[in-house]
């Protein structure tokens, strides 16, 4: 599925090669290195690129 086919209300690009479904995010926080991290319901941790960090300021 191409990025343009995904509903932007539910799916966000957080890194060049990573798209997340917002419904599965359990937590967003900064790590020890001050890097923004997204934690999914299954405890997967994903880093957010600086280019996409502004998305989470809206939350």
Whether residue 1 has pLDDT greater than 70 = no
- pLDDT tens-digit profile of 6-19? 998 999 999 999 99
Number of residues in the chain: 59
The arithmetic mean of pLDDT across residues 15-25, rounded, is: 95
CA distance 9 to 14: 14
pTM of the complete model beyond 0.85? no
pLDDT confidence bin for 45, thresholds 50/70/90: very high
- Both tokens of 48, joined, read 């957010």
Higher-confidence residue: 57 or 14? 14
Identify the pLDDT of residue 19.
95
């Amino acid at each position: 599925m191409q990025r343009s086919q995904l509903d932007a209300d539910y799916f966000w690009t957080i890194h060049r090669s990573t798209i997340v479904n917002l419904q599965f995010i359990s937590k967003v926080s900064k790590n020890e290195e001050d890097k923004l991290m997204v934690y999914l319901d299954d405890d997967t941790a994903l880093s957010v690129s600086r280019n996409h960090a502004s998305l989470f300021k809206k939350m």
